[in-house]
Amino acid sequence: MSALKFTAHINVTRIDKARLFRGKKGVYLDLSFIEHPDQHGNAGFVSERVSAEDWKKGIRGNIIGSWKYIETDQVPDATGPKPETRRQAPPPQTLGDDEPPF
């Protein structure tokens, strides 16, 4: 079985800083990738993940981006999103520390 591959676009200005947490190797944010095709060719959206307890209280994470399939060895559903060619990403910027850029 081959793995599905996808690309995501994240608007980091929409991240709720209170959801960031420090781990042993850096600062992290848990994300959820929700499959929900839209009119722009996205396969779904990316949101901040919330705990099961918060979810039960009606708290939802911010939608901070979208994602698309880029490659798959499986036969695509005729009604679903189509794989696309991966675009070249710009080189990463050096921030000089392990903190997020905001």
pTM of the predicted protein model? 0.62
| Count of domains for the chain | 1
| Structural domain contains residue 16 | yes
Q: Tell me the per-residue pLDDT of 33-82, one tens digit each, with 9 for 90 and over.
A: 999 999 999 999 999 999 899 999 999 999 999 999 886 555 555 455 55
Q: Distance (Å, rounded) from C-alpha 76 to C-alpha 69?
A: 10
Q: SS3 of 4, please? A: coil
| Structural domain contains residue 21 | yes
Range of the domain at 53: 5-71
| Structural domain contains residue 12 | yes
pLDDT at 6: 87
Q: Distance (Å, rounded) from C-alpha 77 to C-alpha 16?
A: 35
Q: Mean pLDDT over residues 14-31, rounded?
A: 94
Q: How far apart are the first and last CA of the chain?
A: 39
Q: Tell me the per-residue pLDDT of 82-95, one tens digit each, with 9 for 90 and over.
A: 555 444 444 444 44
Q: Distance (Å, rounded) from C-alpha 28 to C-alpha 25?
A: 9
pLDDT at 3: 73
